Structure 1
């Protein structure tokens, strides 16, 4: 016939594993909570109309070689 085996963990080991699982779950929940709080405190980026004048002047400073007003290469 079929031999029946005890597949469950013994008393002390199962209690340790249950406590370890609860601790891991608590750490994961705490990390999630901390991450959401940290993200919520992060400052929103400044809108273009609220930037200082120096930053507003630099907003369109990127030029490609085709749009270069000098018409030359920067390396020459």
Structure 2
């Protein structure tokens, strides 16, 4: 085996791993972009009218039975 054959054989797997990494990164970026667009299009639920919270707060001068 000569030097060119050895160098050519050793160069392929790292190149393949780099390509696989680029494809995975592109898929992750695409999934994030698609998910954020879907979340932006989602309608917000109707806002419920807030009910008064009677008796939910007591001042220090009020007793426990007031």
Report the TM range for the smaller structure's normalisation.
Answer: 0.5 to 0.7
- The match for 1:46 is 46
Length-normalised TM-score, structure 2: 0.56
RMSD: 2.8
How many residues align structurally? 52
Length-normalised TM-score, structure 1: 0.49
Tell me, which stretches of 5 or more residues in structure 1 are unaligned?
Answer: 1-9, 48-76
**Over 3 Å off, 4+ runs:** none
Higher relative contact order, chain-length normalized (CA < 8 Å, sep 6+): 1
Tell me, which stretches of 5 or more residues in structure 2 are unaligned?
Answer: 1-9, 48-66
